[in-house]
Amino acid sequence: MPRKFYISTLCFTRTYDYSVVYPGPNLNMIVGANGTGKSSIVCAICLGLAGKTAILGRGDKVGLYVKRGCPKGFIEIELYKKSGNVVINREIHVENNQTLWMLNGRHCNQKTVEEEVKALRIQVSNLCQFLPQEKVGEFAKMSKIELLEATEKSVGPPEMYQYHCELKDFRNKERQLEVKINFLEKAKQRNERNKHDVNRYYEKKRHMDVIELLEKKKPWVEYETTLKEHASVKKEREDAKNQLIALKQAQAPMLNKIQEIDNRLKPTETVAIKEASLKCKQKQDQLDRKHKEIDDIKQTLRLKQMEEEDHQKRISNTRRTIEDLKAELAKVGDQPDVTPRINVVNIELRRIQEERAKIEGDKGDLRREKDNLFRKLNDMNNMMNAKEEKLRGRHRDTYTALQWLRKNRHLFEGNVHEPMMLVINVKDHRFAKYVENHISFHDLRAFVFQRKDDMEKFMTEVRDKMNLKVNSISAPEESCSKRPPSRNIESLRRFGFFTYLREMFDAPDEVMSYLCHQYKVHDVPVGKEQTKAMIKTVIEEPYLRVFYTTDERYTVKRSFYSNKISTSNSAVHASQYLTITVDAEEKGQQEQKMKLQQIDEQMKALQKEAAVLDRRDNELLAEKKHLCELKGKKRQLEQKISTKQDSLRQMEQSAIDLTKIEEDTNVKIAAVNSQKVAIVSALMAQMKVWIKNLLMSAMIAVQILRLLEQRRNQLKEQCTNLMKTAKLKCSCFLLKAFSKLPDTLDEIEAMLNEERSRAECFTSLSETVVDEYNRREQEIKHLEKELEAKTNALNTYRQNITEAKERWLNPLKQLVEQINDKFSDFFRSMQCAGEVDLHSENEDEYDKYGIRIRVKFHSSTQLHELTAYHQSGGERSVSTMLYLMALQELNRCPFRVVDEINQGMDPINERRVFDIVVRTACKQTVSQYFFITPKLLQNLQYAEEMTILCVHNGAYMLPPNQWDEKAFIKRYTKRKSRQGSGGQK
């Protein structure tokens, strides 16, 4: 443990130029008024041990902790260590907030100091070890988890927190694995749902592939057809050529003659032949157009046929769907109408809601009533405590006798009342000065007894045996508390009197009886400014012996012989003891109303009723949901059937008459064929004219040959183009696929129409579904491999985690039990209750473990968890201090620091806590303790092992080398003795 703290030129409160502190090995009480520099010592300890400024909560820059006006500050701390003390020096420069470190006289960096401090198990960032003034409130705000970690670090073995971290890390890995497993399952489920769409997509793609193959084969078939036509024309050309040769041979003798005629007729024949040829060509063109017209008519018919076929399929599917929906509706329709039951359920739900609202209102009223009762009693108790503190300050013996009476009240048979100043309750604090001036302090601090033998027994115990100087009185045997005044107050109102002294306060019957008998409080009027203004008239009024004006007391005496009036008056001094008013009657009523157990039972009964209503509400909501689903399902089915029937009617109305269309088509084709016959007839006539012109000449054969050659060339060119198109659309590997397809154009067209119709049935399909499906399949395979590896690693780790859990959890439970034993003992010694337990919602959720502190400061309440909101500031300070003291004897850290934690405690709790701190921190086996406080209660119990460090500072402070301690003690003892004798009557 540290033996010396050496602080030089360091203080954020601008108090020290130079200071050296030598703490003791046990409890160090650092006492001093606010602003003298007590917390500067805390700051020096923190900053000297490489603590962060955020721990102190006073300034974010280290330069702010140097005395104002100084360029730099120094800290030197000497820490005890078996192998040799450790001396840490820190020099802080204000200008740049830089620090120079030295460890055992050698320069070093901050990390070296931090490692040395850590090796000594010093944790200035742990609120369980180092609790600055600004962080006291944060202790209660710590969560259970944070408190557990702070406790592990503070008093647990070094490996405890390490094991805890390992367990939390393992649990995080398990959670990550669970998330990935969950993701994998969902991915598999999504792929399973999408599998049907993917199969439908691939089925559609197969149809599209067949369509593509058919479209690619079609040019080949067209090419082969044209090629056959070309061969036929070629053959006709050869036949014509042979015929031409034969004609030439047969007509050779006439050729010359023909030539001669030809030369004469050539111009005429050429014109005639051209005209005939042109007309033939025109007729041939007309004939080709008619061919194409017939093809168009046939194509239109085929499209109508396909359209009608698809139309009939849709009609059939719609009818089948309607039948399925009607069958399903029939099943639903067999059930009775659920609307009446839904209305009944709604009424029941509204009734439950009203009852639940009423219960919540009753619970709120009970909670408010309970809170009000607690608050009022607490306020009253605080007022009574303030009165007792005044009594203890003014007359210590009376206060000691009061404590004895409270413990031994059972020894007396009659009523025994505590000192009058505690039981007298002035109704208005403005009246306190009159009551206190009228009753002597000797009687105000007196105990009042109903029986004289009880008074004698009391005085024997406290005066004779305990040597206490106390006063006691016995109430009159016959009660005087209700004795009427000599005159009605109404008869005195003309003098400004508004009440009698007795009406200004409440007191127990025996006390009031004594005051009426001894002090005539029932017959002493109190007046206003009006009374003072007409004082001469008032004095002459008979029957008035003692009365009060606004700020004076008057005593009137009449001579028995001469009836002469003599008066005396005195100023009414301000009240010192009775200004704190507590309505005794109200307190009695409140104590009667404080049937907390009955309120708790009512709350439990209401809670049970609410639970029953909640269960019934859940049942009704589930039933309503089911009924609404049945009702909605029937309505949905009816709506679907109606929609489908409308669609069916529209489709049936829009059906086409295929027979009529076919008949119309045949009529159109017949008409075109008739036109073709006419054109052919005209063509033949023209051909005859043309042949007639050539028949007499060998040129006819040549002309025919040219026509055939021209036709052959056209077909050849057409074949070449078709071959190019086929080559562009097809590749060699498709030839095999072509072998499975039809070989004629009509069959190919029919198959193309069929495949297109089938492909159109697969709607709302997108390639993105397949891409997503394939991508997710890859993710699933990757995740399965990853999970397999991680699962194997976790299984291997899980074999060792059970042992790690036992190494962590069992010592932790023992540690918490030890803390709980000490903590509970401390609270029991204060007539309160408190406990500490290890809280966890799930045994395997290692990051959810925490230490829970529950406390109870009133016998009528239940244990409540320590939070920043439920308890008062004083109660939180007591709980925090006792928890830290429970850690003290576990002795894992070299020292602890607590700064001004007793602020906000009431005197009783502060005294009790101080006693616990002294008993616990002064043991030889515990660590060093620093307790900083601006004040201490009087007459506390101190121990020889304590070190008291008084912090005084100021412009007029006497230098320490000029102090005369003996003279100081002698003067204090003399003054204390003089005060004691002056206060006793």
Q: pLDDT tens digits, residue range 522-570?
A: 999 999 999 888 988 888 887 788 999 988 998 888 765 556 777 778 8
pLDDT of the residue at 71: 85
Same domain (yes/no): 959, 909: yes
Query: In angstroms, what CA-CA distances link 959 with 19, 605, 953, 962, 963?
Result: 12, 70, 10, 6, 7
**Which span out of 444-458, 600-614, 768-782 was modeled with the highest average pLDDT?**
444-458
Q: State residue 140 phi and psi, 5-degree precision.
A: -70, -20
Give the residue with greater pLDDT, 797 vs 814: 814
Same domain (yes/no): 438, 577: yes
Q: ∠ at Cα 210 (207, 215), nearest 5°? A: 125
Helices (H) and strands (E) in the chain, counts: 26, 24
The answer on pLDDT for 258 being more than 70 is no
d(CA 522, CA 450): 20
Same domain (yes/no): 485, 428: yes
Same domain (yes/no): 551, 415: yes
Residue 543 belongs to what domain range?
Answer: 395-581
Same domain (yes/no): 461, 544: yes
At 290, the amino acid letter reads K
Q: What DSSP character marks residue 463? A: I
d(CA 675, CA 290): 8
Q: State residue 98 phi and psi, 5-degree precision.
A: -95, 155
242 located within any domain: no
Considering 652, 674, 691, which residue would you say is the last residue of a domain? Answer: 652
Tokens linked to 328: 């399903």
pLDDT in tens, 700-754: 445 545 555 565 566 556 556 655 555 554 444 455 566 666 777 777 777 777 7
Q: Is 87:80 a contact under the CB 8 Å cutoff? A: no
d(CA 192, CA 198): 10
110 located within any domain: yes
Same domain (yes/no): 419, 561: yes
d(CA 819, CA 826): 11
Tokens linked to 118: 């850590």
Q: Is 444:436 a contact under the CB 8 Å cutoff? A: yes
Considering 594, 629, 652, which residue would you say is the last residue of a domain? Answer: 652
Mean pLDDT over 830-847 rounds to 83
Considering 558, 581, 604, which residue would you say is the last residue of a domain? Answer: 581
d(CA 817, CA 837): 7
Residue in the structure block whose two tokens are 């329709």: 333
Q: What DSSP character marks residue 960? A: G
520 located within any domain: yes
Same domain (yes/no): 502, 620: no
The answer on pLDDT for 696 being more than 80 is no
Q: ∠ at Cα 134 (130, 138), nearest 5°? A: 75
pLDDT in tens, 221-252: 776 777 676 676 667 657 656 665 665 566 56
The answer on pLDDT for 450 being more than 80 is yes
pLDDT of the residue at 448: 94
At 531, the amino acid letter reads T
Burial 197-232 (b: 16+ CB within 10 A, else e): bbebbeebeebeebbebbebbbbbbbbbebbeebee
Give the residue with greater pLDDT, 238 vs 914: 914
In DSSP terms, 865 is beta-bridged to 854
Tokens linked to 601: 């039972």
d(CA 332, CA 328): 6
**Which span out of 171-175, 240-244, 591-595, 804-808 was modeled with the highest average pLDDT?**
804-808
Q: State residue 77 phi and psi, 5-degree precision.
A: -125, 130
pLDDT of the residue at 733: 45
233 located within any domain: no
pLDDT of the residue at 182: 66
Same domain (yes/no): 439, 571: yes
Please state the domain count of the chain.
Answer: 3
pLDDT in tens, 486-500: 889 898 898 999 999
The candidate with the shortest Cα–Cα distance to 582, out of 382, 419, 425, is 425
Same domain (yes/no): 88, 3: yes
Same domain (yes/no): 566, 606: no
Q: How far is CA 75 from the centre of its chain?
A: 44
Q: State residue 905 phi and psi, 5-degree precision.
A: -75, 145
451 located within any domain: yes
Mean pLDDT over 432-449 rounds to 89
pLDDT in tens, 316-328: 888 888 888 777 7
pLDDT of the residue at 6: 44
Q: How sure is the predictor about 2, in pLDDT bands with cuts at 50, 70 and 90?
A: very low
Q: Tell me, what CATH number does 361's domain have?
A: 1.10.287
Give the residue with greater pLDDT, 614 vs 449: 449
For residue 564, count CB atoms less than 10 angstroms from its CB and return exposed for 0-12, middle for 13-18, buried for 19 or more: exposed
The answer to which of 190-204, 546-560, 563-577, 857-871 has the lowest mean pLDDT is 190-204
Whole-prediction pTM value?
A: 0.39
Q: Decide the pairing of beta strands 425-426 and 505-506.
A: antiparallel
Mean pLDDT over 868-891 rounds to 73
218 located within any domain: no
pLDDT of the residue at 549: 92
pLDDT of the residue at 485: 92
pLDDT of the residue at 288: 79
Q: Decide the pairing of beta strands 850-856 and 864-865.
A: antiparallel
Q: Is 34:953 a contact under the CB 8 Å cutoff? A: no
Q: How sure is the predictor about 514, in pLDDT bands with cuts at 50, 70 and 90?
A: very high
Q: Tell me, what CATH number does 57's domain have?
A: 3.40.50.300
953 located within any domain: yes
Same domain (yes/no): 505, 544: yes
Tokens linked to 261: 């005629």
Mean pLDDT over 944-954 rounds to 80
d(CA 745, CA 751): 10
Q: How sure is the predictor about 126, in pLDDT bands with cuts at 50, 70 and 90?
A: confident
Same domain (yes/no): 410, 507: yes
Give the residue with greater pLDDT, 396 vs 366: 396
Mean pLDDT over 787-792 rounds to 67
Query: Which stretch of DSSP H or E encloses residue 379?
Result: helix 339-394
